[in-house]
Amino acid sequence: MTSAKNGTEPFIQLDKEKRWYWHLDPMAQVSGPRSSGKTFFLYYLMLSVAEIGADIYILDPKRSDLSSLRFCYPDSLQDSHVATTPAKICKILREVTELMNQRYEKYFQSATSKIGADAVELGLQPIFLFFDEVLALIEEDRKLGKEAEQYLKQIILKGRQSSVYTVISSQRLSADTLNTVIRENCGLRVIFGKVQEESYRMALGESFKKLPRAEKGVGKGYIYLDGQGWQTPKAFEAPFMDTSKMDIKQIFTDLLANPHKVYKE
Ligand SMILES: Nc1ncnc2c1ncn2[C@@H]1O[C@H](COP(=O)(O)OP(=O)(O)OP(=O)(O)O)[C@@H](O)[C@H]1O
Ligand SMILES: [Mg+2]
């Protein structure tokens, strides 16, 4: 770990030794076949950022369990924060992109803005978009899917400074279905399950060539984290979310109502 990543930088603990410094190596992508654990890993990341008081948006074109978290939000935020239809997903992406650009202009383009300042230092509330099954949107409505891709691309390339981050999941990541910029600019990449070599390459980048041994199964696979000096991906097992002992909806509701941290803006 480099010296810059000291105790002052926020991170999410991914397993015993791996940490995602989402502010330094932002954006995440999670892939894997059906029922491999993508959505559950998104829950884990979502609860982790809810704990630090992030503003969380849920985009769920497959209308899975993720969108049922809508009722964890106060009434007034349900429509602005959770979307399942292509038109509403695009609307949220457009609004968040605008917010990102407004923050950028306000904090980084004004005469008084400080060189080298960043969102964490400025005390901006982190904004996280959780976009489950991106391809389901593209398949449902190609035109709106392309529009959504353009917003995602902007957020992935420019979000960090304004503290806007996205976590996407997809069953497949292929060159002709998802923009390369979106696939290749993620600081955190996870792939679950056993897949074809081409899928490992798409998910993990060229470093996939030397994959270590890893258990295969639900919530198990490989991870690649930027900025940690890794030459190759590592074996990874997602944190176990024991739904017989924890009520994800209740935890999320409580965290949204009582964030552990409050931000300036
Ligand atoms: N980290 C985990 N902890 C506990 N259970 C898990 C975990 N990951 C997956 N599971 C179990 O496996 C099931 C499938 O996982 P999940 O819904 O996350 O897969 P998925 O990859 O999103 O599937 P799909 O492609 O169908 O959306 C879950 O309903 C849950 O029971
Ligand atoms: Mg899923």
Rg of the Cα trace of the chain? 18
Check residue 216 and give its pLDDT. 83
For residues 261 and 90, give the distance between their C-alpha atoms in angstroms, rounded to a whole number. Answer: 29
Mutate to test the pocket of ligand 1, among 218, 242, 246 (most ligand atoms within 8 A of CB): 218
CATH of residue 145? 3.40.50.300
DSSP state of 260: S
| Calpha distance 133→254 (Å, rounded) | 26
pLDDT tens, 204-226?
987 777 889 988 889 999 999 99
Tens digits of per-residue pLDDT, 45-67? Answer: 999 999 999 999 999 999 988 99
Domain range spanning residue 90?
A: 19-248
Closest CA to 169 of 18, 46, 52: 46
Nearest to 223 by CA among 240, 200, 242, 241: 200
Please check whether residue 118 lies inside any domain of the structure.
yes
Atom of ligand 1 nearest to the CA of 34: 25
Higher-pLDDT residue of 241, 182: 241
Q: Is residue 265 part of a domain?
A: no
> In total, how many domains does the chain have?
1
Asked whether residue 191 is domain-assigned, the answer is: yes
Q: Which residues surround ligand 2, an ion (CB under 5 A)?
A: 38-39
Q: What pTM did the predictor assign?
A: 0.94
Q: Which atom of ligand 1 is nearest to the CA of 40?
A: 18
- Residue 10: inside a domain, yes or no? no
Is residue 59 situated within a structural domain? yes
13 domain residue, yes or no: no
